[in-house]
């Protein structure tokens, strides 16, 4: 039986692979960019580096990591750190495009522009998350359990709310988030954002090993 556990050092290659294989609105993005590594350097590896205590994985019966959730409790703090420290050292191999001609260009422009206050959700929903599962464990309740696990960790830190954003093309994700307690909130073009207010008195599931 698969199980949820805390992120451990050494999980990074598996997380990068899952990120890539689910990055195209939930589908495999392999080969979509000139360099597949871009996805993980933006959307998962900075989180486990900065906040390993807010990273949890689904491990399969045979010991493979097949899903994850990562987050930041204070989005403004995280975005400034990403802009000032992470991206200058990890993103320097991909110069900032001058114009957006391709989807890779747009994603790199987004990475270079990340900083506190860039998203309008920070006051009500100061935390944010990313969650990805390989197809083999989708639809089996692991997404819900990962959300509950991270929400519990955020509540323990006194966080009042959490948000995320999904591509409007990712119809599965857009259907999923309201089922696990998120509410749609005003969003940028091309994405649908969701927020969840966190009650300090809410249920706390057992912590993973």
Task: Give me the domains of the chain, ranges plus CATH numbers.
Answer: 3-197 (3.40.630.30)
pLDDT value of position 204: 43
**Model pLDDT, residue 119:** 81
The C-alpha torsion from 172 through 176 and 178 to 183, rounded to 10°, is: -60
Question: How far is 167 from 190, CA to CA, in rounded Å?
Answer: 6
- State the Cα–Cα distance between residues 197 and 181, nearest whole angstrom: 9
Whether the CB-CB separation of 1 and 205 falls below 8 Å is answered with: no
Which pLDDT score, from 0 to 100, does residue 207 have?
54
pLDDT at 189: 82
Q: Which segments of the chain have a pLDDT < 70?
A: 200-209
Place of tokens 């519990």: 152
From the centroid of its chain, how far is CA 29? Answer: 16
- 148 phi-psi bin (left φ>0, alpha ψ -120 to 50, beta other): alpha
- pLDDT for the residue 144: 97
201 is written with which tokens?
């008195």
What pLDDT is stored for residue 91 in this prediction?
A: 96
Beta-strand relationship, 161-167 and 127-133? parallel
């Amino acid at each position: 039986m698969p199980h949820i556990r805390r992120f451990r050092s050494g999980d990074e290659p598996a997380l990068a692979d899952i990120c890539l294989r689910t990055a195209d609105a939930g589908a495999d993005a392999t080969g979509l960019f000139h360099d597949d590594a871009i996805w993980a350097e933006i959307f998962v590896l900075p989180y486990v580096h900065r906040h390993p205590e807010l990273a949890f994985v689904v491990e399969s019966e045979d010991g493979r990591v097949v899903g994850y959730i990562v987050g930041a409790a204070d989005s403004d703090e995280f975005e400034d750190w990403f802009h000032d420290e992470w991206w200058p050292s990890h993103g320097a191999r991909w110069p900032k495009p001058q114009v957006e001609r391709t989807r890779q260009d747009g994603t790199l422009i987004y990475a270079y522009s990340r900083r506190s206050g860039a998203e309008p959700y920070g006051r009500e929903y100061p935390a944010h998350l990313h969650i990805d599962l390989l197809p083999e464990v989708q639809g089996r309740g692991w997404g819900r359990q990962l959300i509950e696990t991270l929400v519990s960790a955020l509540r323990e830190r006194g966080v009042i709310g959490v948000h995320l954003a999904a591509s409007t093309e990712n119809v599965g994700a857009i259907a999923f988030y309201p089922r696990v307690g998120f509410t749609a909130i005003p969003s940028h073009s091309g994405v649908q954002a969701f927020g969840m207010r966190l009650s300090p008195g809410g249920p706390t599931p057992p912590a993973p090993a």
